Amino acid sequence: MKNKISPSILSADFGKLNQEIKEVEKYADSLHIDVMDGHFVSNISYGSVVVKDIKTKLPMDCHLMTEEPIKYAKDFSKHVNRIFFHAELFRNKNELLKAIKKIKSLKVKVGLAINPDKPVSLILSVMKEIDAVLIMSVYAGFGGQKFMPEVLKKVEILREKGFKKEIVIDGGINEKTIKLAKNSGANVFVVGSSIFGEKDRKKAIQKLNEALK
């Protein structure tokens, strides 16, 4: 499976967002769009009115850190390729399946995300119905946090149980932690501060790709 670098625009300068995206576009594989509602997480980031103005040829992943993913998914589905929402918002398999179906009906790919302290079992129970999984390696809420290696067990479990689609790892990824994530079975690496916190974005992405070899 192809390894992919997915810059998270949360760490970009929003005053010149499209320029920031241009700087990573040639070297990245997709863009990661973090949406925060001030409820599911305390931060507020941006909504679909900002995402609609993003100019890029890269496929976009929308990571909804919102209490009501279904309420917002429609607006984002017009602009992005894949929508991730948090599995722990749903109490049982049936509710989760209903939400997956709803998002699928918007003609986008659908993925489930999960915070570090939540078990992967809920995702396992519906893994045949989804296109991808996003394992949080920091607590959802803001960029620049320290990577939590213990979450990699979840990636290993998903692969052991036969999940063959993309597994995204999100949070605290740098040249060192990207190797650990890759070895556990993840293939999409979300990177915020280790790309947009660096002056030379091309070099930053090259270093990450180098670490994956």
> Catalytic residues, which ones?
34, 170
CB 75 within 8 A of CB 46: no
Nearest residue to ligand DX5, using CB? 192
The two structure tokens encoding residue 202: 């091309």
Nearest residue to Zn ion, using CB? 63
CB 63 within 8 A of CB 170: yes
Q: Looking only at residues 29 through 68 of this chain, which bind ligand DX5 when binding is defined by CB under 6 A? A: 32, 34, 63
Rounded CA-CA distance 125/121 in Å is 6
Contact between 61 and Zn ion (CB under 5 A)? no
What would the x/- binding string for ligand DX5 be over residues 127 to 156, using CB under 6 A?
Answer: -----------x-xxxxxx-----------
> At closest approach, how far in Å is the CB of 32 from Zn ion?
6
Contact between 166 and Zn ion (CB under 5 A)? no
> At closest approach, how far in Å is the CB of 81 from ligand DX5?
16
- DSSP states of 40-75: SSS-B---HHHHTT---SS-EEEEEE-S-HHHHHHH
Contact between 191 and ligand DX5 (CB under 6 A)? yes
The CA distances from residue 14 to 43, 114, 127, 157, in Å, are: 16, 26, 35, 37
Residue 134: name the closest of 155, 158, 113 by CA: 113
Dihedral sign computed on CA atoms, order 76, 49, 135, 67: negative
> At closest approach, how far in Å is the CB of 185 from ligand DX5?
19
> At closest approach, how far in Å is the CB of 181 from Zn ion?
14
Stretch that binds Zn ion, among 32-40, 49-57, 100-108, 174-182 (CB under 5 A): 32-40
What would the x/- binding string for ligand DX5 be over residues 153 to 182, using CB under 6 A?
Answer: -----------------xxxx---------
Rounded CA-CA distance 159/154 in Å is 9
| Secondary structure of residue 190 in the 3-state scheme | strand
Contact between 34 and Zn ion (CB under 5 A)? yes
Rounded CA-CA distance 164/185 in Å is 10
What would the x/- binding string for ligand DX5 be over residues 61 to 80, using CB under 6 A?
Answer: --x-----------------
> Using CB under 5 A as the criterion, which residues of the chain lie in contact with Zn ion when the complex forms?
34, 63, 170
